[in-house]
Amino acid sequence: MSIEYETRGVIRNICFEIDDCKVSPPIELANSLQDSVDEALKLVKNPVRRKLAVCVATSTDVPLAPYRGQYWECLPINNSRMEISINVVGFDKADRNQEFVARLDQLLDAFAFMTNALFTTTENVPATDKRDLDVVNAYLIEEDWLDDFSIEGGQLRLARSQVEYCDRLVADKIEDEQSIKAARLFHGGLRLSKQGATNNDIVGTLFVSAIEAISLSRAEKETCETCSQPIFSISQRVSEVADKHLGAHIAKIFKQDYYSNRSNFLHTGHVRASQPMLGNCFPQLDPSGVEGCLVPAPFGNSKNLLEFTSFILRREIEIMAGS
């Protein structure tokens, strides 16, 4: 079998070479392929949406408030879990499942930086456990929050603009895919942060990389006059976006502390906090350590960086939506 493409990803011809074939061309095969193509074209012209759902839990043991978007829905099941459903388009069951998982991952990544909570899928809950809803789409009031979680009324809340962002995300109409990449990096860092203090350097790297990703689309395109290669100015870009949303003092911390730690870890393997925590601490000097000392791993916790990063991501998606 050979395939001739019109353009990348678009097939022009499929050629079959069948040994000892007495029919030329093989009519049954040709008719079967034609029927498959006709059915596929019908589905493309008139796509059918199917609702798929999964149970999700948060790291806070506080569920996300009930929300209904154009193609997605979040309904609390009990005090710790909720059901996330998405209406997806697919040619068959396998295609729909693939599309559902892809959209679900992106949606949970977005929920993470919108709330600072980790979202994970769980086993389905019996329908009898589901509770009745009083209010749907209760939007977050204090949108400028920074610390901890977006909890109001005993639930994790989203702002109206964030629900609208999720609508566009599920519909594959997002303004800039850099926000999707940044959300994935942030959620990955958040997940690792829950697994132990030994991951703190990797976690910090992922958070800083999330800011790099979200700021890339707004960066000016510059090239080196000598070699004509692109100039990225990553540290400057990270510092500028931090200054814009958090002020000059935090921007200075980003440049001298967070970004420097990220670079040292990636390029030299240096870990910021390495001593084990056994109940006792023996001070030791280390010029490249925190305050010039070696410190136990738990003290390398990146909670402030987590909160700074998610705040920047939330502000940047608002700017993207308004531009």
Q: What is the pLDDT of residues 11-63, one digit of tens each?
A: 888 777 766 665 555 777 778 888 888 887 887 777 778 999 999 999 998 99
The pLDDT, as a whole number, for residue 161 is 93
pLDDT, tens only, 177-234: 999 999 999 999 999 998 877 788 899 999 999 999 999 876 666 666 666 565 557 7
The pLDDT, as a whole number, for residue 221 is 64
The pLDDT, as a whole number, for residue 125 is 64
In whole angstroms, how large is the CA radius of gyration of the chain?
25
Q: How far does the chain reach from its first CA to its final CA, in angstroms?
A: 49
**Cβ contacts of 186 within 8 Å, gap of 6 or more:** 109, 112, 113, 206, 207, 210, 309, 310, 313
Sign of CA dihedral 311, 315, 318, 320: negative
The pLDDT, as a whole number, for residue 49 is 84
Domain ranges of the chain: 2-45, 49-174, 195-322
Q: In terms of pLDDT, which residue wins out, 252 or 15? A: 252
Across the chain, mean pLDDT equals 84
Q: Three-state SS string across the chain, please?
A: CEEEEEECCEEEEEECCCCCCCCCCCHHHHHHHHHHHHHHHHHHHCCCEEEEEEEEEECCCCCECCEECCCEEEEECCCCEEEEEEEEECCCHHHHHHHHHHHHHHHHHHHHHHHCCCEEEECCCCHHHCCCCCCCCCCCCCCCCCCCCCEECCEECCCHHHHHHHHHHHCCCCCCCHHHHHHHHHHHHHHHHCCCHHHHHHHHHHHHHHHHHHHHCCCCCEECCCCCCEECCHHHHHHHHHHHHHCHHHHHHHHHHHHHHHHHHHHHCCCCCCECCCCCCCCEEEEEEECCEECEHHHHCCHHHHHHHHHHHHHHHHHHHHC
The pLDDT, as a whole number, for residue 217 is 74
Question: What would the two tokens of residue 238 be?
Answer: 């990270």
Q: Which pLDDT band holds residue 265 (cuts at 50, 70, 90)?
A: confident
The pLDDT, as a whole number, for residue 242 is 92
How many C-beta neighbours within 10 Å does residue 103 have? 21
- Say how far apart CA 201 and CA 255 lie, in whole Å: 16
- Say how far apart CA 265 and CA 288 lie, in whole Å: 11
CA nearest to 174, candidates 184, 185, 182, 165: 165
The pLDDT, as a whole number, for residue 257 is 83
Q: Is the pLDDT of residue 117 over 80?
A: yes
Residue with tokens 């097939």: 11
Residue with tokens 């709330």: 115
